[in-house]
Amino acid sequence: MSLEVWSLLALIFLPAIVGVLIGLVKNEENAYRIALATTLALCVPAVGLLGAFDFSNASTSQFEHSIPWVPGLGLEFSIGMDSVSLLLILLSVLLGPIVVLASKTAITKDRRMYYAWLTVLQGAMVGVFAAQDLLLFYICFEFTLLPMFILIRKYGSTNRIAASTKFFLYTFTGSMMTLAGLMYVVWFVAQDAQLGRWTLDIAALTHYAGDMSLTEQGWVLAAMLAGFAVKVPLFPVHTWLPLAHTEAPTAGSVILAGVLLKLGTYGFYRFAVPLAPEAFFEYAPAIAILAIIGIIYAGLICWVQDDIKKLVAYSSVSHLGFCILGLTALNVTGFSGSILYMLSHGFSTGGLFLMIGFMYERYHTRDMNEVGGLASKMPVWATFMVFFAMASVGLPGLNGFPSELLCLISAFQSDAAWNAAGEPGAWGASLGPWFAVFAGTGMVIAAMYLLYMVGKICFGAYKEPADHHPHDELPTDLNTREIITLTPLAIGCVLFGLQPTLLLDAVSDPVNNTVRIVERANGIEPGEASPRLIINEHADDQANDHGGDSHD
């Protein structure tokens, strides 16, 4: 095994091992120190992987390693990554030290268990993105629930019991259905004459799954949506998120917004699209409509919140609508924008959650009617707050903008009527300008609620809760530790805003590949004159010989 594989294994298993050790240490302060040291140390192999990754070959899975697990069923412990996974792994690892640092004063009781689970969660998240085997993916995917459940259940605020229960049961129920759908694909591929053996290898499944009929794909898609859409969360199945976010400790919220929600969109990108390409194409407009409803509906709900954390939580629902919109456009711009969104959303929203956490530690309230005008007491805090709010609004030059721009453009583009030449990679599903127009109103609404929040809490006359008294350890404004916590996120915001090309180049190959999968499954070949016509023909003879032209 190469050094890179060892690094990857370390990223997955070291946190789990250290998590157990943290549970065993005597001194609670040491728990914090070990967790911080571990999460920081994990950045080394992560950066090493980044350095070793061959970006000229970004769509092939690299650092692959597989250990037979249950050979009869084709089950393997198989890991590896393409550039999309790599970037998401980096995001997860980077958030580790940040959330540990942010928890130093926020968590005061039973810290061993807290840091133990926080560390374990790190490994599970990396596992999700690194998995090349369907079952391994699923195991890690589900395993992330457990640490998060405990973090909310034990360290959340007043309504934490209900929040954690709902979080666990809601997402778990959804993902059980996803499992069923995924297993159907496995079964189908095993029956497929072309392969004829059991396999859970994601690449192999992706290759053969397109043979399923449209009806089969529709059911598989529905099953996958049940899990992934809840996780994202998409409009009607989003209600667990505001609750979980509001009740979770700051670190939990950051991880939840930064990575765990991305498991859903990653699932969309990695499984829902390639495993059911025709069905996804067929139902993309419906999913896009849900996403757009989410953008507007959740945005407007944000606008009337009193609870600042709930506001930011709903804003996640609104923002991730753009991410899904980009995915449903099914073209290169859309996928690029969507992946960019997955990466960048964590920075701005994570930043906002940290800001709220720091405020909460000092004022012990999340009610925007109780505090206000903090800019005069906490100028540094207010500066960061305005900065992250602007990043979240989608100000050009910061991280929200490139992804939002690309997602909207892709929606505009993804209609053959606008692309008479039928450029491969450009047209995608049948969305169209109206989708972009309605989704675009999200830009205005985002400005409305975020400025409402900033205006209430940062500006105006200073206001503090009646029983406010200064924190024992923390100064009035942010201390150095807190600023250090925020700095990487702020840098990330600017970097993503000004250099999205770095990321766009990195994910260009996988994205183009995925688009080709969709196009091929739907009968589009490069240089076709009118994709719309071909789709219609294809839909007609679907009943007779589905997928006959899928992979030749």
Partner 1 sequence: MMTSSLLNSMVSTVAAIAPDTAGNAAQPAAVGHGPSWVLLIPFLPFAGFLLNALYAAFGVKSKLPAWTTVGLLACSFIATLSMFMGYDGTPYTVQAFEWFSIHYGDKSFVANFSFYVDTLTIYWMLFVTGLATLIALYASEYMSHDVGQGYNRFFAAFALFVVSMSCLVMGDNLIMLYLGWEGVGLCSYLLIGYFYKKPSAVAAAKKAFIVNRIGDLGLALGVYLTFVHFGTVQYAELFASETLQSYMAAASHGDFGAIPGEAQWIALLLMIGAFGKSAQFPLYVWLPDAMEGPTPVSALIHAATMVTAGVYLIARMYPVFLVSENALPIVAWIGTITAFLAATIGMAQFDIKRIMAYSTVSQLGYMFAGLGFLTPTGGAYHVLTHAFFKALLFLCCGAVMHGFAGQLDLRKLSGLWKVKGWGIVSLGMLVGCINLAGVPFTAGYFSKDTILAEAFVTPGYAFLGWVLILTAGLTAYYTFRVFFRVFVGPVEYHPGDELHDHDHDHGHGEEHSHDAGQHGDHHADHFHPHAPGWAINTVLVVLTGCSILATGLYFVGADKDAHTKHYADTMVSASSASYHSHYGTHAFEYYEKDPEHYPQPGHGPRGSIDAPLAMPLTGGDPHKMMYYISGVVGVIGIALAWLLHYHGRTKASECKMDAIAKRFGPLPRWAENKWYVDELYHAIFVKPLRIISHVFHWVDKLLVDGIVNVFGFLPRVFAWIIRPSQSGVLQGYAVSMAGGLAILLFVVLIIVSRAGGAS
Least distance (Å) between residue 511 CB and partner 1: 9
Cβ neighbours of residue 368 closer than 8 Å, sequence gap 6 or more: 305, 306, 307, 308, 311, 453, 456, 457
Examine residue 462 and tell whether it contacts partner 1 (CB under 8 A).
yes
Q: Specify whether the CB–CB gap between 523 and 538 falls below 8 A.
A: yes
Running DSSP on this structure, what letter comes out for residue 68? Answer: E
Examine residue 301 and tell whether it contacts partner 1 (CB under 8 A).
yes
Residue 344-373 contact track with partner 1, rule CB under 8 A, x = bound? -----------------------------x
Q: Contacts with partner 1 in 211-270 (CB under 8 A)?
A: 236-240
Least distance (Å) between residue 475 CB and partner 1: 15
Examine residue 399 and tell whether it contacts partner 1 (CB under 8 A).
no
Least distance (Å) between residue 443 CB and partner 1: 6
Q: CA–CA separation, 522 vs 509, rounded Å?
A: 20
Element (H, E) at 80: strand 75-81
Q: CA–CA separation, 441 vs 394, rounded Å?
A: 12
Q: Specify whether the CB–CB gap between 400 and 495 falls below 8 A.
A: no
Q: Contacts with partner 1 in 413-432 (CB under 8 A)?
A: 413, 418-419, 423-426
Q: Specify whether the CB–CB gap between 536 and 427 falls below 8 A.
A: no
Least distance (Å) between residue 439 CB and partner 1: 10
- Which residues are 81's β-sheet partners? 62
Half-sphere CA count of 355, side-chain side, radius 13 A? 30
Nearer to partner 1, 212 or 234 (CB): 234
**Of the candidates 118, 272, 515, 521, which one interacts with partner 1 according to CB under 8 A?**
515
Q: Identify the three-state secondary structure at position 205.
A: helix
**Of the candidates 81, 120, 145, 458, which one interacts with partner 1 according to CB under 8 A?**
458
Q: Specify whether the CB–CB gap between 94 and 122 falls below 8 A.
A: no
**Of the candidates 1, 20, 70, 304, which one interacts with partner 1 according to CB under 8 A?**
304
Q: What is the dihedral of CA 168, 174, 180, 184, to 10 degrees?
A: -140
- Size of the residue set binding partner 1 (CB under 8 A): 67
Q: Contacts with partner 1 in 523-552 (CB under 8 A)?
A: 526
Least distance (Å) between residue 420 CB and partner 1: 10
Q: Specify whether the CB–CB gap between 123 and 116 falls below 8 A.
A: no
**Of the candidates 286, 444, 529, 543, which one interacts with partner 1 according to CB under 8 A?**
444
**Of the candidates 499, 525, 533, 541, which one interacts with partner 1 according to CB under 8 A?**
499
Q: Contacts with partner 1 in 169-188 (CB under 8 A)?
A: 169-170
Element (H, E) at 169: helix 160-191
Q: Identify the three-state secondary structure at position 81.
A: strand
Examine residue 440 and tell whether it contacts partner 1 (CB under 8 A).
yes
Examine residue 477 and tell whether it contacts partner 1 (CB under 8 A).
no
Q: How far are the Cα atoms of 132, 141, 277 from residue 127, in angstroms, in the given order?
A: 10, 8, 25
**Of the candidates 85, 403, 508, 514, which one interacts with partner 1 according to CB under 8 A?**
508
Least distance (Å) between residue 231 CB and partner 1: 15
Q: In this structure, what are the phi and psi dihedrals at residue 82, rounded to the nearest 5 degrees? A: -100, -175
Interacting residues with partner 1 (CB under 8 A): 166, 169-170, 236-240, 297, 300-301, 303-305, 331-333, 336, 373, 375-376, 386, 390, 395-397, 401-402, 405-406, 408-409, 412-413, 418-419, 423-426, 433, 436-437, 440-441, 443-444, 447-448, 451-452, 455, 458-462, 498-501, 504-505, 508, 512, 515, 526
